[in-house]
Amino acid sequence: MAKLADILSIERDRQEPEKWNVIHLFKTGTFYTAYEWSAWLTAVVSFNDEVRKQTKSRMPLTVTRNEIASSENETFCKVGFPMKSVEKFIPARTGFEAIDDSHLVITILLPQPNDGTEITYERLAKAVEKWKEEQPIKTTKEKQPSRQEPVAVTATGNVGIIAQILSYPLSERTPLENFQFITSLKQQIAQIL
């Protein structure tokens, strides 16, 4: 997968008219993720029923706005959807081009303004920025100390591991905490075997 800095560089390079209507999708696991300008094109323009010429109502895509860790007060927006659902989120009759295994480019049609004016970079950039500012910033949770330390392996290690599994509050923990718990269990089992 491309680095965030590389993705944001692509998204900020939109001055030429042939780049205004291009969605860059990056594979993240079993999802495609669009960032910044591409996220706006996906969530607002492409997923819009008027553009898709469909009448059924649909839930809006979930947009996430995160802070950039290496920068002060700078944020980016992203939107993702399962790779199997590309046709649901992107209008028919669009050009798809695979850049590599993890980067897909889609060219869509931009709707023309109703007031008869021209589409300009400034106008689009302003719309993207306004949309981005409307998205709430996702705050990162501070790492909390583990609420349950793994039980030490004893002669009755199997019973201790089973007790840990049964008492572990899986649904109350973050995915990272769950991963760490499983890793701890694997280490304990390896010591017993």
119-124: Cβ within 8 A, 24+ apart: 119/20, 121/14, 121/15, 121/17, 121/20, 124/14, 124/20
State mean pLDDT over 120-125: 92
Q: Write out the DSSP string of 9-29.
A: HHHH---SGGGTTEEEEEEET
Residue 36 burial by Cβ neighbours in a 10 Å radius (0-12, 13-18, 19+): buried
Residue 24 near residue 38, CB atoms below 8 Å = yes
Cα–Cα distance, 193 to 184 (Å, whole number): 14
| Secondary structure (3-state) at 154 | coil
Give the model confidence (pLDDT) of 137-179 as tens digits.
Answer: 876 554 445 555 554 444 445 667 787 888 878 877 888 888 8
Q: What percent of the chain has pLDDT over 90?
A: 26
Provide the mean pLDDT of the chain.
79
Higher pLDDT, 22 or 187: 22
Least confident window among 33-42, 44-53, 171-180: 44-53
pLDDT of 51 > 50? The answer is no
Q: For residue 34, what pLDDT is reported? A: 93
C-alpha distances in Å from residue 152, one per residue of 156, 166, 185: 10, 16, 10
Residue reference for tokens 């002669």: 155
Q: For residue 158, what pLDDT is reported? A: 65
How far from chain centre, in Å, is Cα 177?
A: 21
Q: For residue 74, what pLDDT is reported? A: 86
Q: For residue 125, what pLDDT is reported? A: 94
Residue 35 burial by Cβ neighbours in a 10 Å radius (0-12, 13-18, 19+): buried
pTM for this model (two decimals): 0.65
Cα–Cα distance, 41 to 11 (Å, whole number): 11
